[in-house]
Structures are given as structure tokens and as C-alpha cells.
Amino acid sequence: MSTTTEVIAHNWAFAIFLIVAIGLCGLMLLGAYFLGGRARARGKNIPFESGIDPVGSARMRLSAKFYLVAMFFVIFDVEALYLYAWSTSIRESGWTGFIEATIFIVVLLAGLVYLVRIGALDWAPVRSKGRRPEAITHNTPRHPQ
């Protein structure tokens, strides 16, 4: 088989894959439209969350700490995935791999200790920790004149 014939065969295979995938998605959407319920009522268009009526706006502002903790979780979760991959090949990697994994874990623990020390994982607001907020907001030293 020549190179151009192989390229054309691969392109046709990809085109057939795309057509089948798009057709299957369209078929599922059309099937849901035709087979789905048609009931219209006042209660059908309001959100329903675990049997509780919705209260307030859906545009609730969340603290940036929520997103920060979520990012830390994702980062440490991905690093746990690397450790799992390492654990499956522990026999092949030997002592060198063990030392490298130990260094990796120590760096992870140092990062976690740093995050705890700077308070990045604290959920409580400043005023509930027993500190005075005015003492925290003033960064300039007070000199008697």
C-alpha cells in the first residue's frame, strides 16, 4: 500500500468516526425529545434541590478561600496519583526510585506545612479567632511623638 493510500484510509476512518459520533449524539438528543415527558406545570420550571424549596439567589458569592482549598485539593490529589504510579513500579525503580519518592513526599509535606503556617487552610474568619481586626489591619508601627 502506498503512503497516499494509507493517509486517505486514515482520513476516511476518522471521518466515519466523526459522523458516527455526531449521529449518535443527535440520535440520543432526538430520542430524549420524543420519548421525554410533556407535562407543563408551574412547579416544573422551578429548581428542586433534595426536597428543599429554593431560597435566595443562585448568584451567591463564595469566599476566595473556598477556591483556594479546592485548588490545593486538586494539586495534592494529582500528586497522590504520581505516588500511585510510583508504587506500581517500585520493584523496577529500586532504591533510587525509593529515594526520589521520599524526596517527593518530603517536598509535599513541606508545602502542606507552609500552607498551614500561612493560614491558607483556615476557614474561620479573622474576628472569630480571638484576634482584634484593627490590630491586624494596621501595618505601620506607632511611634510616640
**111/105 Cα distance (integer angstroms):** 10
- Please say whether the dihedral angle defined by the alpha carbons of residues 36, 39, 44 and 49, taken in this order, is positive or negative: negative
**102/98 Cα distance (integer angstroms):** 6
69-119 per-position pLDDT tens digit: 888 888 888 888 888 888 888 888 889 988 998 998 999 889 889 988 988
**30/47 Cα distance (integer angstroms):** 24
51-81 per-position pLDDT tens digit: 676 677 767 777 777 888 888 888 888 888 8
Neighbours of 106 (CB within 10 A): 10
Task: Tell if the pTM clears 0.85, that is, is over it.
Answer: no
